[in-house]
Structures are given as C-alpha cells and as structure tokens.
Chain A
Amino acid sequence: MKLDLRNNRDFLSGLMFIGIGLGAILVARDYPVGSTLQMGPGYFPTALGGILFLMGLHVMIQGVVKKEKLTASWSLRALAILPFSMVVFGFLMEFSGFIPALVVLLFLAAAAGGESRFREVLVLTILLTAASTALFIYGLELPYPLLKGF
C-alpha cells in the first residue's frame, strides 16, 4: 500500500509542531539567551521551541505508524468567507463607521452558510444592527461613529 502523507492526520500535526518549534528557535536566535542563573529573553522561547520540535517529531512518527486519516468535514466556503468577513469588518470600522461594517459583516457571514434567503438575511441584518446599535453605542456608550466618511 502506498503511504499517503497528504491525508495523514498525525503526520501533518507533527509537521505543524515542528514548523512552529523551528520557527520559534529561528526567531529567538536574535534574543540573548543568557545563562541559567540570569536568563535572557531568548532562553525560554528557545527551550520551548526545542521541546515542541521533539514532540512534533514523535507525533509525526506516530502518524506514519498509525495512518489515521483526516475526518472532520470541510466547509471550504465558510473557511474562506468568514475570516474574510472579519477583515472587511475591521477595515470598515476604521473607514466607514459602525453600521456599514456590521451590515457588510452580516451579509458576508450569511453568505458563508450558503443556504440563506435574501429576505431572511435582510430582516436579520436590520434587527441585529438595530439591536447592536442600541446595546453597544447607546447602552454601553462605545465611542464609535455610526457613519463615517460619507
């Protein structure tokens, strides 16, 4: 049987841990390590990076031995749209104000689900925007402009 590593859950996990561990060690090279008595800022991260590297190696080998496959189901659509919608929200908060940011976020988020109807989303957006404005802007007095730059 051919060894398929692209779908091997623990091999990939191990790879990730090794990557993070090595990355930590590489970046921490710029920080003075010091001695055990007088630890410098580089001591702890370097040690952790090393530990993580070893653990990653172990997990990776386990993966090759056990051959567990990835199981959880993907929603590529949600995975792409939801983080994007957050970025858009952050951007609009800066340049257009609270209401546009929220409206766009809600529409994008609903689109991530893929089974929403336009009318339903519209009602939901109006209700939630009104409720959030009342709660956060008037209730908790958060200092965000409702509209900006128009």
Chain B
Amino acid sequence: MELFNNLILGFSVALSVQNLWFCFIGVLLGTLIGVLPGIGPLATIAMLLPITFNVPPVSALIMLAGIYYGAQYGGSTTAILVNLPGETSAVVTCMDGYQMARQGRAGPALGIAAIGSFVAGTICTFFIALFGPPLAEMALSFGAPEYFSLMLMGLVTAAVLAHGDMVKALAMVVVGLLLGIVGTDVNSGMSRFAFSFSELTDGIGFVVLAVGVFAVSEIVANLGSTEKRQVFTSKVRNLWPTRDDLTRCLGPILRGTGLGAFFGVLPGTGPAIASFSSYMMEKKLARDPSRFGRGAIEGVAGPESANNADAQCKFIPTLTLGIPASAVMALMLGALTIQGIAPGPQVMTEKPDLFWGLIASMWIGNLMLVILNLPLIGLWVSLLKVPYRMLFPAIMAFSCIGIYSVNNSSFDVYLAAVFGLAGFLWLKLECSPAPMLLGFVLGPMMEENLRRALLISRGDPTVFISRPISLSFLIATVIVLLVMAAPAMRSRRAAITG
C-alpha cells in the first residue's frame, strides 16, 4: 500500500501545472538535442545547470531528467532516418532501423521505438518505486568504509566499460580524482593545487569542467571531421506498426527492458552497452538470425527499450545512494547540490516529494514523448537539415553564458577554454573523458570517506575487508577487473564498446 501512496504523492507533484511545463520543456529539448548529432545530453544539461538556480528543486530535476531520456529517444529518430546515431546509445538502432527506412518502413520503425521506450519507461517507473526505498534503507546503514568501497566499484566499472583501452580509462579516473582535489581541504583548511589563483580555492566548478571538456572539444572535433549527413528523404507515412509487428516485438521489448534495468542499476555502465546486449540477445534468440541487419523490427524494438530502461534505472543508485551512476547522473546530483540538497539515501525520506515527483514525471514524460513526437517527426526531419555551421556558434554562445553565470566570473570562462583544449587532446589521444568526470565528482567524497574510515579503525586498513558489505563491493570490483582483463572478454569488450 505504501507503494501506491508514494506513487500518488509523486503524481500529485508531477501533475502540477508548473512541473508538467518543465517536464514538457525537458523532453522537447531532449528530443531536439537527441535528434541533432554533435550535441549530447551531457553538454546540454551542463549548460542549463546554472539556469536551474532560480527554479524549485523538483522542477529543475524533472526538466533535466526529461532532457536525458528525451535525448535517448531523439537519438533513435536520427539513427533510423539518417543512419547516423544522434546519441551514442542509438548506434545499434542504425543497423536495422535504417534498413527498415530504406524499405519504406521508416514509420513503423519510429513507431516501435516510441512504443518500446514507453513500455520500458512504464515498467521501470514501477521498478524504481519498488526497489528504491529498500535500497535507500540499506544505504542508511552504510558507514565510511562501505561508501569508499562502493565508490571504488563504481569508478572501476565506469572505466572498465568505457570506450577504448581499460588502463587509459582507469588513468583518466585518477586524473579526475586529482582535479577533484583542487581547492580547500575540508579537514586542514589548506588550499591544494590552487597555485596563486584565489578563484580556485573553492575548487574547479563542475559546469566549467563538463562544458569545457564535452561541449567545446566536441565542436573542435566535429569541425575537423568531414562526415556528411544525408537525410532519408522518402516521406514517413503510417507510423503505426502492424499487428504482426507488435506480436513479434513483445518479447524483445520485455527482454530489452529487463537487460536495460539490469545494466541501469550497475554504476558506471552507459546505455550503449544495454542496447548492444539486447541486440545480440535478440539475434541469438531469433528463429532466423539472418534477418538482422536487413530491417528486422525486433532489432529496433529490443535495443530501444533497453536504452530507455537503462537511462531511467540509472536514477536508482544515483538517488538512493547519492553516488552518480554515470557522468550525466553526476550532473543531476550537481543540480541537487546547487539547490542546497546533499545527495544521499536521506533524500528519499527527507524530500519524498522530490524523489517520487521525479519518478512520476518520468512516466508522464515518456507518455509525452509518444504523443508529441510522432506528429512532430516532420519537424525533426527538417531540423536535421540545419547545417552545422549555423548550429555550433549557438552552442558556443550558450556554453559561455552558462559558464559565466554560475559565479559571474570571467575566470571560469578562461578555465573552461583550457579544459576545452585538454578535452580535445584527450579525444585525440583516445582517452575517454567520461570516467574522468565521474572521478572528479567522486574525488572529494572518496578522500573524505577514506580518511574517516581509517580514523574509525585507528589506521587499520583491514577495515575495508572486515566489514561484509564493504568486502562484497571490493570482491565485485576485483571480479569485474579480472573478467574484463581476461583475453576472451577483451575481444568481446572491444566489439561492444569499440
């Protein structure tokens, strides 16, 4: 019964006129940037973060979350119509979605992507409502050693499952941890790595780092590439899949949702992994696997459900443990912090309206996506024809204003320019910056918990393995490392993430 009371509370919050409006703006903006290749949810949310100052916390989170899952949705539109992933998670959708479009079945492909996402979203809303509270309750008993081990596990999985070489990704995590240290040390009051810049005593701003590394360096990279886009010009008719399509897709949608939820709860994994696993699974289970890659509708339904489920379930560890499960989730927590709310398991009990309102809004947002986007396909298609040379100056302008407005500080803009250069260098050296950002966010928390754990144990480092929960996190970390470093997994991993 408590579950229903909670959901009713959530819907009463999410259905207020103001929150509906923010949800609408969020999903619309999310779809927009999802459709457009070259700008992702990470950069967009980072740019908008300062603007959420003036908005109540619930509304701010509802909007930012809408951008996130809206982008997953918009990414599939581009994948199907242009054979170009609007978002990284949509890479898989290109394979069969574009083939369907070439066969004149773009409509059903778009339709099933929307339906699959909606079903996944609905199931995950209940999933979060069911498993969120017990997890938060468990987390309340966590002490410093548990938190340290959990964060270590999150950082290692993030690095291990990131794009490219594993050791480089781990090294990027360490770079992030070091960047997180910049500023005044809470315990001693000593200023570290601030050199003589007084602006650095409060640490490096999250928005500065995220926009610099992700937005600016992306533009530089995009301007360097010569890839041309070609919009699939045939008219999109009849979005509704046939009855045969729907019965075919029921299994893939449900299995995709399950996989997505599983990967979603794991910290550190991205939606691309969930959708790829779903695609492989459907191909294995299919009676005639050769249809895949030639316009099999199951190859669109499964992965699209999986990436939406993943996106939503990422909120479980983020909101219940206060540990961001991905770089985008780190931004969500950043939004909370800006509002003066300390992320952690206490959020659910102290701010039930925030937690349940956000959960309910995700279901409403998914419904909006289905209702709004199918008629708006034409608009998205025409947007794809806007040339990049008109787009990127606008992105630059909003980025700069966004960075400046956090502290009204020019120094932050200069610093972001430096990170833009660093981000490009990392892109060039194929050192993925997403794990770095996670390390940056977790750095101060990790150091704090490490110190506290060792203080409680009187300097005895076995505290991390003598407490059962902490030990199990550490064992899981070691297993992930060993499995991924094994030669057989190495090649499979290369196939998934590469």
Contact = CB atoms under 8 A, between A and B. Distances in A.
Interface of A: 9-10, 12-13, 16-17, 20-21, 24, 27-28, 31-32, 35-41, 44-45, 48-49, 51-52, 55-56, 58-59, 62, 70, 72-75, 77-79, 82-87, 89-91, 93-94, 102, 105-106, 109-110, 112-116, 120-121, 124-125, 128, 132, 136, 140-144
Interface in B57-96: none
A45 B178 contact: yes
Contacts of B475: none
A13 B168 contact: yes
B174 interface: yes
Given A75-B224, A82-B220, A13 B397 contact: no
A73 B225 CA distance: 6
A49 B185 CA distance: 17
B226 A20 contact: no
B175 A86 contact: no
B104 interface: no
Contacts of A39: 187, 450-451, 454
B459 interface: yes
B390 A45 contact: no
Contact of A113 (B51, B193, B389): B389
25 contacts: A20-B178, A35-B459, A37-B458, A39-B187, A40-B188, A44-B451, A45-B192, A45-B193, A55-B167, A59-B167, A59-B171, A70-B428, A75-B224, A78-B220, A78-B224, A79-B220, A82-B219, A83-B417, A83-B418, A86-B216, A102-B401, A105-B397, A113-B389, A124-B394, A128-B394
B190 A31 contact: yes
A119 B167 CA distance: 49
A37 B421 contact: no
A112 B220 CA distance: 9
B393 interface: yes
B402 to A, nearest CB: 9
A39 B224 CA distance: 46
Nearest to B448: A44
Given A10-B168, A87-B413, A93-B404, A72 B427 contact: yes
B80 to A, nearest CB: 27
Contact of A9 (B393, B398, B429): B429
A52 B181 contact: no
Contacts of B147: none
Given A16-B431, A17-B175, A74-B428, 17 more contacts: A10-B429, A13-B168, A13-B171, A36-B459, A37-B459, A52-B175, A55-B170, A59-B167, A73-B226, A82-B420, A90-B410, A93-B410, A106-B397, A110-B389, A120-B389, A132-B397, A136-B401
Given A9-B430, A136-B405, A52 B454 contact: no
Given A13-B429, A39-B454, A115-B389, A52 B171 contact: yes
B54 interface: yes
B117 to A, nearest CB: 30
Given A13-B430, A73-B226, A41 B405 contact: no
A108 to B, nearest CB: 9
Given A39-B450, A75-B224, A109-B392, A83 B420 contact: yes
Contacts, number: 188
Contacts of A115: 389
A96 to B, nearest CB: 12
B312 to A, nearest CB: 29
Nearest to A142: B405
A83 B413 contact: no
- Place the interface of chain B in its size category: 35 or more
Contacts of A74: 224, 428
A150 to B, nearest CB: 19
Interface in B219-236: 219-221, 223-226
B400 interface: yes
Contacts of B404: 89-90, 93
B424 interface: yes
Contact of B393 (A37, A51, A59, A110): A110
Contacts of B418: 83
B397 A109 contact: yes
A121 B178 CA distance: 40
9 cross-chain pairs, A with B, having the tightest CB-CB distances, nearest first: A37-B459, A75-B224, A90-B413, A90-B410, A83-B417, A86-B417, A78-B223, A55-B171, A41-B185
Contact of B424 (A37, A79, A121): A79
B171 A56 contact: yes
B393 A10 contact: no
B417 A45 contact: no
Contacts of A142: 405
B386 to A, nearest CB: 11
A59 B165 CA distance: 9
Contact of B389 (A70, A72, A116, A128): A116
A87 B421 contact: no
Contacts of A44: 181, 447, 450-451
B167 A58 contact: yes
A82 B424 CA distance: 11
B176 to A, nearest CB: 10
B468 interface: no
A2 B437 CA distance: 37
B400 A86 contact: yes
A120 B387 CA distance: 12
Interface in B150-186: 165, 167-168, 170-171, 174-175, 177-178, 181, 185
